[in-house]
Amino acid sequence: MKQSFRLGVISTEILVASLMLFSAAIQTAQAQIIACSTTTIDMKLLVVSNGKTEADFPAIKQILDYLGTPYDVLDMTVNTAGITSSMLSDGSCHGYYQGVIFAYGAYIYTLPGMSTLVSYEQTFGVRQLNWYMYPNNDFGFNYPYNGTINSAGADTASFTPAGTTVFWYANTATPVTISNAYVFLGTPRSASALPSGASVTPLLADASGNVLSLIYTLGDGRQYLTQTFDSSPYLMHDLVLAYGLINWVTKGIFLGEYHVYAAAQVDDFFINGSEWIPGTSCTNPITHDRTPPDATSLPFFRINSADMTSLVAWQNKVQSDSLLANFKLTLAFNGVGTTGNTDWTGLPTPGVANDDLTRNVQNYQQHFHWISHTYDHPNTLNGLHKSDPGGDPDTPQVDSIDLEILTNQYVATGAGQNLDPDPSDSVSPLHLTDFNPANLVTPGVTGLNDTLVPSYLVQDGIRYVVTDTSVIGQANNGPNPSPNVGTVNSYAPSLYEVPRHPNDIFFNAVNWADDQAEFSCIYNNPVQPPYNTFTAPQILDYVSSGFVTHMLIGDMDPEMFHQNNLHDYDGQGHALLSDTYDQTFAKYERLYNLPVVSPTLDQLGQHMQNRNAYNLSTATASLTSASGSNLTISITVPAAASVPSAIIPITGLNGVGAETYGGQHISHVQVSRGQTIVLPVL
């Protein structure tokens, strides 16, 4: 990504002047070093920016926000006085930051009070991460550097042995491609050219011998990790490296946590749906606007037992990979499709005996998570009653919430209540083994803005629903209010909303010809280059790349599919969903070695509620080290916190019941308002 403040070669005169100023700052700092037998360092990071305009700043913010790692931003355009000693410590042995991140490394030459920061880093052994910097001597590189690559080009860098340690979670056998970014090409200084006690450790190097990332141990208590390439939040090289950078600057112990999520939910299971077949007119000949995706002119489609046999075989194959062993699809079902009613199955003959999808449910149901999608998928839940014990007073009649929720629970397990008024429907329990009645996907994400429906859902036992991340500016719907946090419904505080990602595998697509036809209609009305010319392979690449981005960010929002997308369209085990995840996981495993987790909807909701409570707790933590004793962590939730307690995630702490993920310990410590807990770091 281009930077407005630096695109060309650095002036030698400017550099020499800067080096002289920086050398003087170091000499001043060395005279200020404090000797401490016991040190306390707060578990927080300091991010240095100049106006927050760097392309790298949102990349830094993204990883820290998703992790939940506390940080302060020193904006040089606001804090024009720069660094003061009171910002960094108590003047003695209590430091306020465990690491420092510069959005652009050259700020060491222009940041007022840099000598104070140098002294702080030396006194407390605090590391400095330079997310982007041109190569020069102060960062362990030779100057002048070898050249540049602009954002139209690319470079490929391999991990050195030291790089495989810093980025241990990555698939370090795969070189990192750095593209759409400005790259400076440099080499590390030789040992003979370094100051006494200093050393350099390359982390990434290209085929021409240029080092693009290295650790410079200065020999005076400081360590710099510097990257010579630009970043932004959605560039793949940044997504691969960001987690390792935060681990390095914090020395592997920090507030917050990271997992790779792949949770997919499939709506409309058991009922038929519209199919957008090739040749469908993009324009409705009557209304002259776009043909609706569920237009009555479209044919219907419903998967069958053979499709599920293929899906189970595919998922079993996926799970045979140790990184993907926990991947499991969630099926959101509509129970009316199991009653033998041809209005909902589209089959030529009524009766459950003629419906092999329902008849063979015990051959596949144990392989999936199941959630309710209402009994008969009304167009909207808005306006529905809680129940109609005396008959429906509306004309025309409408369903009730009890029918939609309790009857689907009856179909799932035999609990709930059969309220289906149609005597021709054969309503029988399926005895699903992985069904939680607290979970619901509402049709079209409706009902959540009705003043009464959310409370009716709660009365029927619903606690978790989904929203659509693509909906903007609508209450009780839309994207996460903050990373990995959902929304409390404004009409029913006991109802928690989990945002879910839509994608361009359309609900009415059975095969790639369907999907490409509808994709073309959407992106040619109006024309939106380059998407308007995408073929099916390009659509697959586009969607799967988006999935990988969500995974690497640490985004836990589930992905949305529909029953049409499960069809084995070629008889060889390929479906739109399986194709998408096959390519997603292939791309992922070329980049990462962390295991994938697939939480259920209620687990996602609980994770998001925990994360929100952690955010609201304003918890702080400190590391204390004393000569001859173990390192300890002190965790405090202030008495003024707006939540009574919170679960505080701490990566690198092996506490009681700690999780081990990707070789790292993650402890989840329950702390009450006004409480301080001290734990040893084992």
Q: Give the total residue count for the chain.
A: 682
For 46-56, the pLDDT digits (tens) are: 999 999 999 99
Query: What is the per-residue pLDDT for 273?
Result: 96
Query: What is the per-residue pLDDT for 512?
Result: 98
CA dist list (Å): 165 to 51, 429, 491, 594, 641: 33, 53, 50, 14, 38
For 126-145, the pLDDT digits (tens) are: 999 999 999 999 999 999 99
Query: What is the per-residue pLDDT for 35?
Result: 73
For 394-425, the pLDDT digits (tens) are: 656 667 999 999 999 999 999 999 999 899 99
User: Minimum mean pLDDT among 201-210, 385-394, 627-636: which range?
Assistant: 385-394
Is residue 70 helix, strand or coil? coil
pLDDT at 30 over 60: no
Joined together, the tokens standing for residue 200 give 């350099």
Region 439-455: what's the mean pLDDT? 97
pLDDT at 13 over 50: no
Same topology between domain 43-249 and domain 260-597: no
For 75-91, the pLDDT digits (tens) are: 999 999 999 999 999 99
For 366-385, the pLDDT digits (tens) are: 999 999 999 999 999 999 99
- What confidence category does residue 290 fall into, taking pLDDT thresholds of 50, 70 and 90? confident
Domain ranges of the chain: 43-249, 260-597, 620-680
- Report how far residue 17's alpha carbon sits from residue 3's, in angstroms, rounded to the nearest whole number: 23
Query: What is the per-residue pLDDT for 394?
Result: 64
User: Which CATH class for the 260-597 domain?
Assistant: alpha beta
Please list, in sequence order, all residues whose beta carbon lies within 8 angstroms of the beta carbon of residue 142, skipping any fewer than 6 positions away: 135, 186, 187, 188, 189, 193
> Does residue 139 contact residue 61 with C-beta atoms inside 8 Å?
no
Query: What is the per-residue pLDDT for 11?
Result: 44
For 451-505, the pLDDT digits (tens) are: 999 999 999 999 999 999 999 999 999 999 999 999 999 999 999 999 999 999 9
Region 569-597: what's the mean pLDDT? 98
Query: What is the per-residue pLDDT for 540?
Result: 98
- What confidence category does residue 626 fall into, taking pLDDT thresholds of 50, 70 and 90? confident
Average pLDDT score, the chain: 93
Please list, in sequence order, all residues whose beta carbon lies within 8 angstroms of the beta carbon of residue 390, skipping any fewer than 6 positions away: none
The pTM of the full predicted model, rounded to 2 decimals, is 0.93
> Does residue 440 contact residue 495 with C-beta atoms inside 8 Å?
no
For tokens 């586009």, the residue is 542
First to last CA, the chain: 42
pLDDT at 388 over 80: no
Query: What is the per-residue pLDDT for 389?
Result: 64
For 225-268, the pLDDT digits (tens) are: 999 999 999 999 999 999 999 999 999 999 999 999 999 999 99
Region 266-279: what's the mean pLDDT? 97
Nearest to 3 by CA among 181, 236, 268: 181
- Report how far residue 425's alpha carbon sits from residue 339's, in angstroms, rounded to the nearest whole number: 5
- Report how far residue 425's alpha carbon sits from residue 430's, in angstroms, rounded to the nearest whole number: 15
Q: How many CA atoms lie within 13 A of 424 on its CB side?
A: 8
Query: What is the per-residue pLDDT for 507?
Result: 97
Of the candidate CATH numbers 3.40.50.880, 3.40.50.2000, 3.10.129.10, 3.90.79.10, the domain formed by 43-249 belongs to 3.40.50.880
Query: What is the per-residue pLDDT for 283?
Result: 86
> Does residue 565 contact residue 575 with C-beta atoms inside 8 Å?
yes
> Does residue 263 contact residue 598 with C-beta atoms inside 8 Å?
yes
Query: What is the per-residue pLDDT for 17?
Result: 44
pLDDT at 682 over 90: no
Query: What is the per-residue pLDDT for 29?
Result: 52
